[in-house]
A and B are shown apart, each in its own frame.
Chain A
Amino acid sequence: MVAVLLQLKLAHLAASFRQGNAWVIVSLVISLLSATSIAGAIFSLGFFATSNQDLTYFYLIGGPLFILAWWVLALFLGGTDPTLDPEALSPYPIRRRDLMLGQGLASLLGVGGIFSLFTLLAAISSTFSSAASALLYLLSATLALVLAVLGARVLSLATLPLRARSNLKALASLALFALLIFTGPLTILISRGLASIWEQLTTVLEVIKWTPLGAPWGLVLEAQRGNQLLAWALAGLSLAYAALLWLIWDRLTKYTMERVGALIPSSTSSDRQSGLGLLGLLPDGPRWAVAARVLNLLGKDSRANLNIFAIPLLFLLILAMNSGTGLIQVDLGDQEINQGFQAVNGIFMLVGFLPGFAGYIYSYLVPYENTAFSLHVLSPLRGIDDRLGRVYAMCLIYLPLFLLGDTVFCLTLGILPLLGPILLTSLGAFLAGLGLGAWTDTLFSMPVAPPGSSPWATPQYPDGMAKTMFRGFLSLIPMALSLPGVISLTVASFVGEGSLIWAWGGACLSLLLGAGLLTLGVRLGAAHYDRNQALMLQRVAAFSS
């Protein structure tokens, strides 16, 4: 039965390659190249880690991070791959032990599994001094992988009731998103933290060695230090942790399979709403109705509201990038900070990249709607009303964010005289992004996870990567249109307030270009919508399958 389950998982994986599209292969090659390059870096680190101290750091920092990565990802991504979901398999007479074994082994099939095997194998370079160490390393790595998989399964099942609650699920998505956006600054902070406790670090690591995160790595470390007895004690401890995790997983699987369907969230009185919401607040007419409904989607759909949440996070990130190194270390009087901001990069990110990115989110709206978009197609709705209704919604939600973000940014960095040009250039890039989205959305649809699924579920579409790359290329257009504003703002911030007139001039030009692209994009999009709305529906309907 375990073999059958593995075959099922493999068949699911292979199905994505059978659609005859070269982009699937390209995606796989890129993933493999990434895995290889990271594995190469680990190989080098292991190879040069020769002293006892180096090996301690190598095993007891990298090793626990490897296991922790599995566990944290299981917390956030649990349930995104339903291939061997215990709830789905509960009607079949499968022994629990077989199901668990199948699930455990199947979690190694796929990009995550391949990536893990690559990195674990690469780290064997740390044991090149002796064959015995290499053999012991293989035992350590196997135990580490077992603990990583078991812990991930336990956390995934234990948090199932929490993930079934849409509010908590959305919160977890936002937390993961924030984590991803702040990976850079967090890495810097962690490095600084480690540097500050470097003296005490060895003591901390010696404690980690006794935890489930560190025990398997302590085994190979102690063996290399010559403490054979301690090494085998840690091996025993790793096995005990594995047995305990298996036991908990077994109990949780039994509990889940006995309560199939019970975890489907049921609405409570607090979920119920009275009234029409924004449909009752915004003016009459189809155009405003579309705006109200799109605002509802952006606010309440966990796939869509990540895009809104991204804006304040990206503002913080740009602030962090332009206030020296590290996260939010802003000092109003610090001359260096102002100089940092004067970097072209910072200005471009603020007034070109961020608003351009936000505006082009327009192109995801119809794909998020999926076949619910059929209500538009079946109605006597003019293309111009569909396109402008979406523009209104995007403006209503994003413009206040930019007004607030840019103002806080300028206040924080003491560059208030530049606020006007910054706002105008941002608006120009945002409008350009909207215009581009309003048009390109009618020509091709970006693949997204279908309604009701996790925002992190991987959409299985053969040309998804091609579209994503093309989207990346197109999103350069609004950024390019912001260049007059970016250049004049850069000059103004270097030269001083005397050149403010140029900043205003450049900003106005960017705004005009953005408004022009918006007008053109909406008109072209509306005309294309009127002719091809059925094709648009068929394209997004393919994302349901």
Chain B
Amino acid sequence: MTDASASPLPPHTKPENPVSRPPALDIRGLTKAFDQQLAVDNLHLAVPAGSFYGLVGRNGAGKTTTLSMATGMLKPTAGQALIAGSDIWTQPLEAKRKVGVLPDGVHLFQTLTGQQLITYAGRLQGLDKATVAQRTADLLEAMDLTAAAGKKVADYSAGMTKKIALACAMIHAPQLLVLDEPFEAVDPVSASNIQDILKAFVAGGGTVILSSHVMDLVQRLCDHVAIMDAGRLLAAGTVDQVRAGGSLEDRFVELVGGRVVSEGISWLQSSSN
């Protein structure tokens, strides 16, 4: 890798007219019911190609369910998800070549080393040995994992696990990266490095969708944002449109509600009792 701050992925050529490209992700009426309970309710969302899109919501808002349905991990009860024009459920092979996914809370193949895991992810994408070897080395360096390349994934810390999973999502240079809580448990230095990589990826024409609880991060990193609650979309657009002059956090609290104003818990005021 020649430039540590640049994307380890082959550069995308930013198109002259981004409007002519289909949405990187087009969600049409996605619905998911678990035992008659709606987790996601008729969700429509178009993520413009070349955007850095934040998806925010409280715990249980339906973010992970939505992203799982949009990437082929969870069958929707109804609706469609198109990745750069390819339906993930009716044209799965075509759609999956265009997307890289970092799911939240899944196991990795723990008996593989970090290097073997990235290589495996690349081979599953149909890449040849030489390409996979080159990209694996670049990704390990970009993620600051070169020294741990020969260590089993089972022995990785939470942050290292997140980074190696992110590398797996990037190995095939997808058009769209879907990242569920990508910075959770990642140390600040690694987080900054990853953010640089993602910014360079977007600058090169790629699209990133990330879900997060951290409003400040989304406001700083993303140019678009969608707010979800109880399986529904409350607001979506550019960050400036959604926050409407205020901070994203204030706008989020205003839309979602549930803020409890209190003077604290009386018995917690003093540790002497």
A379 touches B73 (CB 8 A): no
Q: Is residue B129 within 8 Å, beta carbon to beta carbon, of the partner chain?
A: yes
- A273-B150, A279-B123, A380-B93 known; A535+B112 contact, CB < 8 A: no
Bound CA span A290–B75, Å: 24
Instruction: Name A285-326 residues within 8 Å CB distance of B.
Output: 285-286, 289-290, 292-293, 296-297, 299-301
Given the known inter-chain contacts A277-B116, A378-B96, please indicate yes or no for A289 contacting B103, CB distance below 8 A: no
**Residue A503 lies at the interface, judged by CB distance under 8 Å to chain B:** no
A372-B109 CB under 8 A given contacts A271-B152, A279-B123? yes
B111 CB contacts on chain A under 8 angstroms: 296-297, 299-301
| Residue of B74, B110, B123, B126 with highest tally of chain A CB at under 10 A | B123
A370 within 8 A of B: yes
Q: Is A272 an interface residue (CB 8 A)?
A: yes
**Per a CB cutoff under 8 Å, which of B97, B109, B113, B129 touches A375?**
B109
* A286→B126 contact, CB < 8 A: yes
Residue B31 CB within 8 A of the other chain: no
Docked complex: B101-140 residues within 8 A CB-CB of A = 101, 103, 105-113, 115-116, 119-121, 123-126, 128-129
Name the B residues within 8 Å of A534 (CB-CB).
72-75
Residues on the A chain within 8 Å of B151, using CB:
267, 271-272
A380-B108 in contact (CB<8A): no
A369 adjacent to B97 (CB under 8 Å): no
Across the interface, do A378 and B110 meet the contact criterion of CB distance under 8 Å?
Answer: no
**A371, A380, A381: which has the most chain B beta carbons within 10 Å?**
A380
Q: Across the interface, do A276 and B116 meet the contact criterion of CB distance under 8 Å?
A: yes
Contact of B128 among A284, A381, A450, A541 (CB under 8 A): A284
What chain B residues lie within 8 Å of A381 (beta carbons)? 124
Given B107, B123, B155, which contacts A271 in the complex, CB threshold below 8 Å?
B155
A451 touches B116 (CB 8 A): no
Whether B109 and A267, one on each chain, are in contact in the complex, defined by CB atoms closer than 8 angstroms, is no
* Chain A residues with CB under 8 A of B93: 380, 382
B158 an interface residue at 8 Å Cβ cutoff? no
CB distance from B113 to the nearest CB of A (A): 5
- Proximity bits, A31-54, B CB within 8 Å = 1, else 0: 000000000000000000000000
Chain A 3-38 interface mask (CB, 8 Å, partner B; 1/0): 000000000000000000000000000000000000
**Contact in complex: A279, B119 (CB < 8 Å):** yes
> Which B residue's beta carbon lies closest to that of A537?
B73
The answer for the CA separation of A376 and B124 in the assembled complex, in Å, is: 7
When chains A and B are docked, how far (Å) is the Cα of A376 from the Cα of B126? 12
**A-side binding surface: helix, strand, loop or mixed?**
helix
Across the interface, which residues of A come within 8 angstroms of B74, CB to CB? 534, 537-538
The answer on a CB contact under 8 Å between A296 and B125 is no
**What string of 1s and 0s marks CB contacts (under 8 Å) between B85-97 and chain A?**
0000000111011
Query: In the complex, what distance in Å separates the CA atom of A272 from the CA atom of B108?
Result: 17
Q: Return B168 CB to nearest CB of chain A, in Å.
A: 7
Contact A372–B155 (Cβ < 8 Å): no
Q: How far is the CB of A46 from chain B (nearest CB, A)?
A: 49
A-contact bits for B135-169, CB 8 A (1 contact / 0 none): 00000000000000011101100000000000010
Within 8 A of B (CB), among A355-384: 369-372, 374-382
Q: In the docked arrangement, what's the CA distance between A93 and B111, Å?
A: 37
Q: Kindly state whether residue A274 has any CB partner on chain B within 8 Å.
A: yes
Which residues from chain A contact B73 at a C-beta distance below 8 Å? 374, 377-378, 534, 537
Q: B72 to chain A: which residues have CB within 8 Å?
A: 377-378, 533-534
Name the distance in Å between A146's Cβ and chain B's nearest Cβ.
38
Of chain B, the residue at the smallest CB distance from A375 is B121
Across the interface, which residues of B come within 8 angstroms of A535, CB to CB?
A: 75
A375 touches B119 (CB 8 A): no
Contacting residues, chain B, for A371 (C-beta < 8 A): 103, 105-107
From B119, B124, B152, B155, give the contact of A286 (CB < 8 A).
B124
**A residues less than 8 Å from B168 (CB atoms):** 375
Q: Is B7 interfacial (CB-CB < 8 Å)?
A: no
Query: For the complex, is A544 an interface residue (Cβ under 8 Å from B)?
Result: yes
With A273-B150, A372-B107, A378-B101 given, is the CB distance from A293 to B155 under 8 Å?
no
B124 touches A289 (CB 8 A): yes
Q: Does B71 contact A (CB under 8 A)?
A: yes
* 17 more CB-based (< 8 A) A-B contacts, given A286-B126, A371-B105, A380-B93: A267-B155, A275-B115, A279-B120, A284-B129, A285-B123, A286-B123, A286-B124, A289-B120, A301-B111, A372-B108, A375-B121, A377-B73, A380-B97, A530-B92, A534-B73, A534-B74, A534-B75
- B interface residue numbers (CB < 8 A to A): 71-75, 92-94, 96-97, 99, 101, 103, 105-113, 115-116, 119-121, 123-126, 128-129, 150-152, 154-155, 168
Interface of A toward B, CB cutoff 8 Å? 265-267, 271-277, 279, 284-286, 289-290, 292-293, 296-297, 299-301, 369-372, 374-382, 450-452, 530, 533-535, 537-538, 541, 544
Q: Can you spell out 20 A-B residue pairs with CB atoms less than 8 angstroms apart?
A: A267-B152, A277-B113, A279-B123, A284-B128, A285-B126, A286-B123, A286-B125, A296-B109, A297-B111, A299-B111, A374-B73, A375-B124, A378-B73, A378-B96, A378-B103, A451-B107, A452-B110, A534-B72, A534-B74, A541-B106
